[in-house]
Chains A and B, each alone.
Chain A
């Protein structure tokens, strides 16, 4: 319901969250969980009908990223990686060019799990939640995921093995019952989920190599988060709601490498003014206010 106040259209009873995103996240979480369970059942001689029996490695787009070097130099894939990882990498890249790291915000099951734990953190710490890390330290730590990306790509190229599987919390999360479970992965997963009580998406912000790879697309994506400064109330709601702590209210176009295209900052969710923070290719040229 919209009303007009001081010449601005204000949305009453606005949505606080993009519910459809939660449904999509649930869908992919359950899908991957069922496939992982099915793989174990198949190995034990059973299996669920109509469900893929692919390994998690075969369904991980990051597997495609880490095998690029070996594929380019020898024409083969890194151990346990198959053509499907390459296909998923290309699809993920196409989505990122169009919509930014939408894979992180809408699809990745590890991101979903972190959000679930963070709900508890929000209830426990309220306004302090997601603001524990000092801003200066946080701004530096945001780049560590690029170091992780470089480390993983280099070691995979150097050894020809899927070295990241030993530490991958996503792989650990869906292998808790399997003999492929690696201690390193369990520790990283446990630390990630524990930190999610204090920080929104800590793995995505500070360590995820695939998030780092996709995050670059924020610099040139076709659709982006855009703020209409002419109609903005400057209440800061968009910045407060952003899970990645991006200061949306100081920008006209969000080019931050950490944006995950979750749409939680938009007028469809938290912004009270209609058509002010939108996910679009462009905005009408209007006089701006508050642009840094």
Chain B
């Protein structure tokens, strides 16, 4: 069988565009996160959305849809002054709180949502909230354990810039300077690629090195380690290995 350009062009277009159309019909052609949080599978909260599944790509509107916490409330808790809080992406908090002594980011939103809704949350990760979140949690009937946790895991960030106030050029330069900064989403693969030896990482963790794609924070949560303890130790080694 011989093909000339016309049938070949038709077949290429048919297979490519038809394949996309068919996979879209089947629900396979997902071009973005579905933004539907996983649910608890067991226990008294089975079937309810799990705050631990909030992703950086979620907007505060997505958080509201999944957990019923108004986007404006989350925005107020984290000092976000965006005129459209529902469209504000959770991952932007990392930029907003870039200069914070502790990490305020996606994990902080997970914790705030869990506290606000009364849903379970693993508190071993050493997650912090800005003090602007406290008034919003004051009437949420927090358990004594959670109240005690907040006493030691709230940080006063009076000087933190609001999103709309952060000047863009400064943001860019700061990002460049902190390329090798260990964050919640940093994977072990990245740590190794920055020159820290596997042996050193294992010594700090006290455990065998996990898969490179695992994030340091997820590993700490899973193994019951304090991310806030591990983070500066690994960061020191990263800084040492820097060229």
Residues of A within 8 A of B (CB): 18, 20-21, 23-24, 52-55, 58-59, 70, 73-74, 76, 78-79, 82-84, 87-88, 90-91, 94-95, 98-99, 102, 106-107, 155, 157-161, 223, 261, 263, 266, 268, 275, 278-282
- Beta-carbon contact of B3 and A106 below 8 Å: no
Residues in A with CB closer than 8 Å to B23 are 84, 87
Residues in A with CB closer than 8 Å to B211 are 73-74
Q: Given the complex of chains A and B, what is the CA–CA distance between A232 and B204 in angstroms? A: 70
The reply on B16 being an interface residue by CB < 8 A is yes
8 contacts between A and B (CB under 8 A): A58-B32, A82-B30, A98-B11, A102-B8, A102-B12, A155-B193, A159-B213, A282-B1
- Beta-carbon contact of B5 and A91 below 8 Å: no
B1-57 CB contacts (< 8 Å) to partner A? 1-6, 8-9, 11-13, 15-16, 19-20, 23, 28-33
- If A52-B31, A159-B193 touch, whether A94 touches B15 (CB-CB below 8 Å) is yes
Residues in A with CB closer than 8 Å to B11 are 98-99
The reply on B190 being an interface residue by CB < 8 A is yes
- If A55-B32, A73-B213, A268-B5 touch, whether A91 touches B190 (CB-CB below 8 Å) is no
- Beta-carbon contact of B213 and A74 below 8 Å: yes
The reply on B192 being an interface residue by CB < 8 A is yes
- Beta-carbon contact of B193 and A84 below 8 Å: no
The reply on B187 being an interface residue by CB < 8 A is yes
The total of interchain contacts (Cβ-Cβ below 8 angstroms) comes to 114
- Beta-carbon contact of A158 and B5 below 8 Å: no
- If A24-B13, A279-B2 touch, whether A263 touches B8 (CB-CB below 8 Å) is yes
- If A54-B31, A83-B28, A159-B190 touch, whether A20 touches B16 (CB-CB below 8 Å) is no
The reply on B232 being an interface residue by CB < 8 A is no
Q: Across the two chains, which residue of chain B brings its CB closest to A222? A: B1
Q: Given the complex of chains A and B, what is the CA–CA distance between A79 and B17 in angstroms? A: 25
Q: Across the two chains, which residue of chain A brings its CB closest to B171? A: A179
Told that A87-B23, A94-B19, A280-B1 touch, could you supply 9 new A-B pairs with CB distance under 8 A?
A: A55-B32, A58-B32, A82-B30, A83-B28, A84-B29, A87-B20, A88-B20, A94-B15, A159-B213
The reply on B118 being an interface residue by CB < 8 A is no
Residues in B with CB closer than 8 Å to A24 are 9, 12-13
Q: Given the complex of chains A and B, what is the CA–CA distance between A155 and B194 in angstroms? A: 12
- Beta-carbon contact of A95 and B16 below 8 Å: yes
Looking at B8, B189, B192, the one whose CB has the most chain A CB atoms below 10 A away is B8
| Chain B window 222-242, contacts with chain A (Cβ cutoff 8 Å), 1 for yes, 0 for no | 000000000000000000000
